[in-house]
Amino acid sequence: QGQLVESGGGLVQAGGSLRLSCAASGRTFSSYAMGWFRQAPGQEREFVAAITWSGGSTYYADSVKGRFTISRHNAENTVYLQMNSLEPEDTAVYYCAARRGYSWSWDKASSYEYDYWGQGTQVTVSS
């Protein structure tokens, strides 16, 4: 069984930056597409970003486009989310997810498409 573990969350002031990491273990995730989602209190889980197995293509939610960057380092079995110009509205628990397969033709924003999930890391942005 594969496992995903997020880290890098914390408290930051508005306008600041954080880099989240998602470390995979138990299997090689180099053939998996990876995604980040977030969930604020009382709200549904929301798509943030996704990246192909190779890192060659990425996809972002409009709300984070231009501010967040997803990347991956397959040799280290790790995916990153660089978050810049953070806003209080970005406050949420951030989750890493993995979808097996090489295809990029699927609904990347749907949580149902993903096969593995991490436990999440809290990001709090103060105004």
pLDDT digits (tens, 9 = 90+) for 36-79: 999 999 999 999 999 999 999 999 999 999 999 999 999 999 99
Calculate the alpha carbon distances from 52 to 49, 62, 106, 120 in Å.
Answer: 11, 18, 11, 21
pLDDT digits (tens, 9 = 90+) for 32-43: 999 999 999 999
Calculate the alpha carbon distances from 9 to 18, 102, 105 in Å.
Answer: 7, 29, 30
Alpha helices in the chain (DSSP H): none
Report how far Cα 78 is from the mean position of its chain's Cα atoms. Answer: 11
Please tell me the distance from the alpha carbon of residue 6 to that of residue 120, in angstroms, as a whole number: 6
pLDDT digits (tens, 9 = 90+) for 104-116: 989 999 999 999 9
DSSP-derived letter for residue 115 is: S
